Structure 1
Amino acid sequence: MEKNPNSYINVEFDQKSGSFVRYFISFCACMDGFNYCWPLLFLDGTFLEGKFKGNLLAATAKDGNQGLFPVAFAIVDSENSANWEWFLRNLKEVVGDGRTLTFISDRHVGLLQSMPNIFPSAHHGYCLFHLQMNLRDHMKYVSASHKVGLMRKLRDCAYAPTVACFNEKLEALKKSSTVVIENFLKDLHPKHWANTYFRGQRYGEMCSNAAEFFNNWVRDAHQLPITKLVDMIRGQIMEPMAECRVKCTKWPDVICLKMEKKLTMAYNDSRSWCVSQANDNVYEVHSHPSILVDVARRVCSCFQWQINGFPCSHAVVAFRDSGRDIHESIDHAFHIDTFKETYNGTIYPIPTMGKPSSTPTDYMIMPPAVKRPPGRPKRKRIPSRGEVVQHIRSGRCRKLGNNNRKTCKEPI
């Protein structure tokens, strides 16, 4: 808090034992930068492998160049409903209520329970990859090829752009395995996973890949003690932010580099298409099939412009024939000026040179109590030699050879 003012930190510890419970942090530079990112957050947790175990929960966004932008993270004892609710309540203090947010997660029960209460106006999308894995787990005594086929058909349903197309794909999915699919979709409303019914804006992101990438990005820190882990993650966020601040100054265009490349590819794909003009804003693109584009409303009848939040090939060719500047109709989140504002803040180092040395009289938070992982048997106590000899003399154990405790047939 001294080196990075206005950051948000919440540390909880047991009042009786003084031991660590959980920790949440969002640096001021991340809080300010998220205001210029997509209003989209990926939520995920991963195991920690150090001495104190626990879990790392993270909220990750994407910048206008589709780059990873960590917003907040927390260290908790386990990934359960109480900790996810606590994480979301702290996250709300960071992201505020200024924008309608979209969350993408792996459908953890803690998120399903607490999300509607803490972020009532937000949209919650389910990770398609996790849904496919859940569907696979629902199928027993089924060949691998059949499982892959059902997972592919579920993916087709998720990507369907219209209601008619969705119903067609869903019918094909149900015909493949009626009982399994009906049980799987019983409590799974398509408004959380299908493009047709999803009302939020997730910019074409169907999976929580950004959150998974963040977990892999900080994997080297998973085995460190808590304070070292936090400081290593701080350094890993600090350095890329400085690099992004420099590299965007070399971009020559109006929008970010990756998005400019996508725009060029869309233009090359649509170069041979003919366009007919209906009025100042509406155009018909003679592709296969014929497509309607309204450049003023930013809609296309292929629905890819609306789903991805970025002009499709039909929109690009319509702008080409209209003589308008397409950059003016692209979401400002993809502009270089917005990208610069995203990385305008700085995460400052925390040098140990000026750190005051602690004394026994200082109040310190003790390490957390390490819980035995579920399913791991308790370590058996090895009896002493005297106990083994006494056990043998009692007549309850058959003596084999010398007094070797390994030959004892009865428990002590």
Structure 2
Amino acid sequence: MVFWQVADHIWGLIQPFLHASTQDIATIGVDGHSWMFPVAFGIFEKENTKNWVWFMQQLKLCIGDPEGLAIHTDACKGLENAITPVYPSCEHRECMMHLMLNFKKKFKGDILDNMWPLAWTYETEKHESLMAEIEAISPEAIAYLKKQHNCLWTRSKFSSITKVEYVSNNLAEVFNNWIRDKKQLAIVELADKYREMAMQMRAKRRKVADGLQGTILPSVVKELNQKSKGLRYGEVRATPTIAEISGNGWRHIVDLGKKECSCRRWQIGGKPCTLALHFIFSKGEKVDQYVDDCFSVAKFKAAYEPILMPIRG
């Protein structure tokens, strides 16, 4: 079992998974640039609950049990049952792509049209409305989801602490592509190659960090500035920091002081939604102060500050 040194403020979500061609396992996080952040890897002889519990116990020794931790799993055998014994209070998320693969084996037709919108919506009311539409078509589908997929798979149920809005385990695929040509190596060589690749990655990102200026990551500021262009919403201010923002038949409440919008996207993702962006820029303010601290330059630099030391052959 090997753990890379992890900054305690880099991410709120980790995605443990197993490589299909070998019994090597890895846990991946995400940094402020939405780049994968390798956290740990290990190797066991058989995929079952007992071994997954062991892996999660070792993970806990490394990262502890931070507030707002979300663990995002796919269809790994035994993994789902290993989360609760080790992390009973974490937010256990389930990969929507794997859920849909299973769901489509049992249910067909128009009912499928509501499933991805269910996962993507941030609003509790919209989630309930879509669930009601599914239940009207097939009560059996709702019963199936509650029984077979009782982990979190919709943004409307995500915690506002984590600030990661992923609904699928795409980080696992990124990691698999990263080490695709190395997975058939012998165990000792495989572990050493993982270590070397992690060292190289951290060194490159430390170099990126050294060149960063400002408070919030420039890529995040650029993204939000781009999204703010051409916004045309109605606006009625209750106070200098609270307003109703409306358009296309809907209306939401934006509170700049609390960094909240009633659409909930700002709270879940940590970046102002387009409604909030309209309000912020209509006031002539910069967006930096309204972005969550997890996207700050300081946090990014701190994440890659710890060094993986070289070892002799």
Structure 1 residue 97 corresponds to structure 2 residue 70: no
Report the Cα offset of residue 45 of structure 1. Answer: 0.7
Q: Give 1:329's aligned residue.
A: 290
Matched AA of 1:319: I
CA contact (8 A) 2:15 2:73 kept: yes
CA contact (8 A) 2:50 2:82 kept: no
Equivalenced residue count is: 311
Q: Give 1:184's aligned residue.
A: 144
SS in 1 for 2:156: coil
SS in 2 for 1:47: coil
Task: Map Cα deviations across residues 192-218 of structure 1 (whole Å, 9 max, x no partner).
Answer: 112223336352111111122112211
Task: Map Cα deviations across residues 50-82 of structure 1 (whole Å, 9 max, x no partner).
Answer: xxxx41111100111111100001111122111
Q: Give 2:35's aligned residue.
A: 67
TM-score under structure 1 length normalisation: 0.70
CA contact (8 A) 2:260 2:266 kept: yes
Distance, in Å, in 1 between the alignment partners of 2:230 and 2:168 is 26
Distance, in Å, in 2 between the alignment partners of 1:152 and 1:254 is 41
Structure 1 residue 347 corresponds to structure 2 residue 308: yes
Distance, in Å, in 2 between the alignment partners of 1:286 and 1:135 is 35
CA contact (8 A) 2:253 2:262 kept: yes
Deviating more after overlay: 330-339 vs 260-269: 260-269
Correspondent of 1:122 among 90, 108, 127 = 90
Distance, in Å, in 1 between the alignment partners of 2:284 and 2:100 is 44
Distance, in Å, in 1 between the alignment partners of 2:131 and 2:246 is 29
CA contact (8 A) 1:55 1:75 kept: yes
SS in 2 for 1:232: helix
Gaps of 5+ in 1: 1-23, 49-53, 353-412
CA contact (8 A) 1:42 1:210 kept: yes
Structure 1 residue 131 corresponds to structure 2 residue 91: no
Provide closer, same or farther for how the CA distance between residues 273 and 182 of structure 1 changes in structure 2, counting only shifts above 3 A. Answer: closer
Structure 1 residue 106 corresponds to structure 2 residue 74: yes
Q: Give 2:233's aligned residue.
A: 273
CA contact (8 A) 2:163 2:267 kept: no
Q: Give 1:221's aligned residue.
A: 182
Q: Give 1:198's aligned residue.
A: 158
Report the Cα offset of residue 107 of structure 1. Answer: 4.8
Provide closer, same or farther for how the CA distance between residues 176 and 63 of structure 1 changes in structure 2, counting only shifts above 3 A. Answer: same
Matched AA of 1:64: G
Report the Cα offset of residue 97 of structure 1. Answer: 2.7
CA contact (8 A) 1:282 1:292 kept: yes
CA contact (8 A) 1:44 1:212 kept: no
Deviating more after overlay: 286-295 vs 120-129: 286-295
Report the Cα offset of residue 330 of structure 1. Answer: 1.3
SS in 1 for 2:128: helix
TM-score under structure 2 length normalisation: 0.90
Matched AA of 1:268: K
Distance, in Å, in 1 between the alignment partners of 2:230 and 2:9 is 30
SS in 2 for 1:261: helix
Correspondent of 2:221 among 238, 257, 260 = 260
SS in 2 for 1:276: strand
- Of structures 1 and 2, the larger Rg is shown by 1
Matched residues, percent identical? 26
Q: Give 1:210's aligned residue.
A: 171
Distance, in Å, in 1 between the alignment partners of 2:66 and 2:80 is 22
Distance, in Å, in 2 between the alignment partners of 1:320 and 1:164 is 28
CA contact (8 A) 1:106 1:208 kept: yes
Q: Give 1:295's aligned residue.
A: 256
Distance, in Å, in 1 between the alignment partners of 2:97 and 2:79 is 17
| Structure 1: 4+ residue segments shifted above 6 A | none
SS in 2 for 1:206: coil
CA contact (8 A) 1:25 1:73 kept: yes
Distance, in Å, in 2 between the alignment partners of 1:95 and 1:151 is 38
Cα RMSD, aligned residues only: 2.2
SS in 2 for 1:284: strand
Report the Cα offset of residue 350 of structure 1. Answer: 2.4
Provide closer, same or farther for how the CA distance between residues 299 and 256 of structure 1 changes in structure 2, counting only shifts above 3 A. Answer: same
Task: Map Cα deviations across residues 254-275 of structure 1 (whole Å, 9 max, x no partner).
Answer: 32233122211221142x4353
CA contact (8 A) 2:228 2:274 kept: yes
